[in-house]
């Protein structure tokens, strides 16, 4: 028994041996295994009861019977500090937390990489789809990244985009070729009518004049189709455009036509603005809009062209006090031949819309206060403009 007590003492434990009368008969130098609580445990053991260790922070106390369980000759009480156990438990919890945190971090990292692997190609596909929708027919998606499903989707998109590009280019080429081929016979037909009209009198002269007017209208239509085809094929390189100067120049160029028709054509003063558009595009836009306005405004009417700074755009507008447009007509006005109320070829606004949007701008139609139509355009500013 003494050997076991010495072993317990070397291990840093406190132990005590009790006889059948619950009296201590031997113990380690440490007396933590003795006392009132230890004696209560011994009495429970000797009585054959299951001992209930006391709740004592910092110490563990246990008792076991000595000899036979039914008739114990005594009991052994062991007392041990709970600090090493607490430290071990804390260490286990710390390692568990560290392993859990590392696992969570690895899961998050893996999830992020997986999400990027899937979302990256999808985002690129979304950008390509937006570019295609905005008219960039050469937009294509990357087919080398992402999971197989995304790669197949990108391949399908590229096939669709390629077919769309081929169809659109073919459509534009047909329009351009047909329009170009029609110009020569129209010119020849006009010359023949001029020859026939020489010396013509009466009803014949009237009919020839009407035919000349139809030829002129058809020529304008052909020229408009050519202009649309060129506008749709335009891939502009932005140049600096002095908006105020171009507005003043085009108003001055159209003033004789306006005076001949009895229309007041004016400019509205605005700040000095520099826009970024393709060469000659602003001039072509204003020519179409002013021509449309002069066609719509009756004798004594007014057309105003102005510009100002709005946000990060140069806003340009052409306002008239003519009959205006119905909501139904405005909804289709930018389509080729979409406006049944158009007095001209029905292509001017389609050309304007294409030239504005291909340069990154926006155009819309508004009602003029008091009656009439206002075409409002927001054009991109040149880099460095406020």
Rg (CA), the chain: 48
Tell me the pLDDT of the chain (386 aa) as tens digits.
Answer: 667 766 766 666 788 888 877 788 777 777 666 777 777 777 777 777 777 766 665 667 777 787 776 777 788 887 776 666 667 777 888 888 889 888 888 888 888 888 888 788 888 888 888 888 776 778 888 888 788 888 888 889 889 888 887 877 776 666 666 666 676 777 777 787 777 777 777 778 788 888 877 777 777 666 666 666 666 665 668 889 999 999 999 999 999 999 999 999 999 888 999 999 988 889 989 988 998 899 889 999 999 999 999 988 999 999 999 898 888 888 888 886 655 555 555 677 888 888 888 888 999 999 998 889 999 999 999 885 54
**Nearest alpha carbon to residue 124 among 109, 144, 105:** 144
Q: Which residues pair with 366 in a beta bridge?
A: 374
Sign of CA dihedral 109, 110, 114, 117: positive
Whether the Cβ atoms of residue 14 and residue 24 lie closer than 8 Å to each other: no
What H or E segment, with its residue span, contains residue 17?
strand 14-19
Name the DSSP class of 188. Answer: H
d(CA 354, CA 228): 8
**Nearest alpha carbon to residue 45 among 20, 65, 19, 61:** 65
Q: Is the pTM for the entire model greater than 0.75? A: no
Domains and CATH numbers, the chain: 2-81 (3.30.450.20), 95-233 (1.10.287.130), 239-380 (3.30.565.10)
Enumerate the H helices of 233-347 as residue ranges: 243-260, 281-296, 327-331
Residue 143: exposed, middle, or buried by beta-carbon count in 10 A (0-12, 13-18, 19+)?
Answer: middle
């Amino acid at each position: 028994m003494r050997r076991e007590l010495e072993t317990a003492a070397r291990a840093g434990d406190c132990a005590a041996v009790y006889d059948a009368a619950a009296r201590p008969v031997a113990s380690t130098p440490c007396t933590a295994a003795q006392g009132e609580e230890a004696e209560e445990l011994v009495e429970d053991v000797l009585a054959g009861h299951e001992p209930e260790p006391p709740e004592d922070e910092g110490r563990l106390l246990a008792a076991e019977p000595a000899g036979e369980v039914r008739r114990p000759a005594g009991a052994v009480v062991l007392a041990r500090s709970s600090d090493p156990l607490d430290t071990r438990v804390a260490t286990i919890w710390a390692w568990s937390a560290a392993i859990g945190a590392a696992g969570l971090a690895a899961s998050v990292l893996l999830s992020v990489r997986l999400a990027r692997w899937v979302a990256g190609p999808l985002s690129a596909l979304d950008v390509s789809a937006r570019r295609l929708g905005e008219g960039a027919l050469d937009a294509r998606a990357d087919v080398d990244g992402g999971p197989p499903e995304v790669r197949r989707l990108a391949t399908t998109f590229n096939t669709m985009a390629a077919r769309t590009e081929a169809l659109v280019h073919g459509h534009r080429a047909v329009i351009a070729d047909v329009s170009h081929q029609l110009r020569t016979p129209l010119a020849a037909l006009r010359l023949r009518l001029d020859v026939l009209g020489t010396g013509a009198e009466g009803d014949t002269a009237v009919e020839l004049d009407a035919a000349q007017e139809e030829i002129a209208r058809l020529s304008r239509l052909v020229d408009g189709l050519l202009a649309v085809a060129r506008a749709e094929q335009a891939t502009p390189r932005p140049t600096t455009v002095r908006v105020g100067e171009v507005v003043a120049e085009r108003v001055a160029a159209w003033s004789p036509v306006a005076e001949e028709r009895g229309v007041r054509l004016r400019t509205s003063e605005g700040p000095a603005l520099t826009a970024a558009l393709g060469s000659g595009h602003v001039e072509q836009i204003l020519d179409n809009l002013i021509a449309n306005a002069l066609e719509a405004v009756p004798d004594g009417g007014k057309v105003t062209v102005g510009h100002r700074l709005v946000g990060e755009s140069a806003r340009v507008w052409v306002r008239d006090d003519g009959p205006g447009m119905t909501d139904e007509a405005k909804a289709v006005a930018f389509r080729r031949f979409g406006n049944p109320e158009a007095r001209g070829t029905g292509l001017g606004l389609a050309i304007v819309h294409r030239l504005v949007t291909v340069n990154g701008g926006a155009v819309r139609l508004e009602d003029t206060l008091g009656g009439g139509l206002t075409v409002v355009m927001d054009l991109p500013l040149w880099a460095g403009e406020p």
